Amino acid sequence: MKQVIRAIGASMLALGILGTAGAARADDKVTLGVAIPTADHGFTGGIVWWANKAKTDLEKEHPDLKVIVKTAAGAPEQANQLQDLVTVNKINALVIFPQESASLTQPVAQVKKKGVYVTVVDRGLTDTSAQDAYVAGDNTAFGKIPAEYLAKALDGKGNIVALRGIPTTLDNERWTAFTGVMKNYPDIKILDAKYANWNRDDAFKVMQDYLTRFKHIDAVWAADDDMAVGVLKAIDQARRNDIKIVFGGAGSKGMVKNVMDGAPMIKADVSYSPKFIYDAIKLTAEARLKGDKLPATTIIPSVLITKENAQQFYFPDSPF
């Protein structure tokens, strides 16, 4: 976004001292572009729902705000949408949930160079100089909490398989945190870890492979509630009874309900709500309408969900 110049006195404004070229005053209208993935699984379905809710709520509340939501099925499409948002829609602020970290870093950097204020959400860029602000859940806790839970539940020994998401900075953070805890438990063996793209069908196939190759598995870190659904389906079809725990992630209403109901393999979860896209859009829009900036980083905590506190995280009317 154009660099904001605060009111510095009527006399200076009268002289036209407005800072660098392309500066915008706080009373200018804000056209905010939102670039997010399509609803290809439950979590991104929640992202799309919350983004559109933010558009409805915020445009109603702020007459000088226009929010344009774009969804993309892949990184190339999202990069093209960024160009359109700048050249066609003339945005001066952007909130982006990148499809991928590395491939979207340069396109986002080009948007920022045009004077657009950039807030990156969840999947961080590989070069943080391409953004003005970053809003995300606590990815370190997202990996650390399941690892600590599984290590305790397994009494420090056993075989684990893991399913990772999409190659992104946040997935790396989660995996580093998970394995960092497991280094303290030499009798727990991570048999394998493969990407399953936060997708039920992909997770089903990965888990089928694990079940074929490994004759004894004590627990699965699915690292996402949608992937956990695919994992459970594969275990059920294989009629395996050695696996005691499947730990997903993100606190979907289905998995939280399983925790509440005492489902045999779903004993806990970790919170990571897609509502943070709503929060990021709201924070960015209202800051820019005032001519303010966000903190460089805003982290929304992740916490362990168990039967004792699951009711606090159960929202049956939500899309995720």
Identify the pLDDT of residue 317.
Answer: 74
Identify the pLDDT of residue 4.
Answer: 34
**214-225 average pLDDT score:** 97
Identify the pLDDT of residue 181.
Answer: 98
Instruction: Take residue 270 and report the two structure tokens written for it.
Output: 């970790």
Report the C-alpha gap between 270 and 281 in whole angstroms: 24
Report the C-alpha gap between 147 and 180 in whole angstroms: 9
Identify the pLDDT of residue 21.
Answer: 30
In the predicted structure, residue 211 carries a pLDDT above the cut 60: yes
Pick the CATH number of 139-271 from 3.30.413.10, 3.30.300.250, 3.90.1150.10, 3.40.50.2300: 3.40.50.2300
Q: Work out the pLDDT band at 148, boundaries 50, 70, 90.
A: very high
Q: Work out the pLDDT band at 316, boundaries 50, 70, 90.
A: confident
> Is 136 strand, coil or helix?
strand
Report the C-alpha gap between 197 and 6 in whole angstroms: 44
Boundaries of every domain in the chain:
10-137+274-300, 139-271
Report the C-alpha gap between 57 and 50 in whole angstroms: 10
**27-50 average pLDDT score:** 89
Relative to beta strand 93-96, strand 117-121 is parallel
Identify the pLDDT of residue 20.
Answer: 31
Evaluate the CA torsion angle 264, 268, 274, 278 in order and state its sign. Answer: positive
Identify the pLDDT of residue 1.
Answer: 37
Percent of the chain with pLDDT over 70: 92
In the predicted structure, residue 10 carries a pLDDT above the cut 60: no
DSSP labels, 145-181? HHHHHHHHHTTT-EEEEEEE-SSSHHHHHHHHHHHHH
In the predicted structure, residue 2 carries a pLDDT above the cut 70: no
In the predicted structure, residue 7 carries a pLDDT above the cut 80: no
Identify the pLDDT of residue 15.
Answer: 32
CA angle 93, 284, 102 (to 5 degrees): 65
More confident residue, 21 or 268: 268
Fold of the domain spanning 10-137+274-300: Rossmann fold (3.40.50)
Find the helix or strand (DSSP H, E) in which 194 lies: strand 188-195
Report the C-alpha gap between 70 and 78 in whole angstroms: 8
Check for a shared fold between 10-137+274-300 and 139-271. Answer: yes
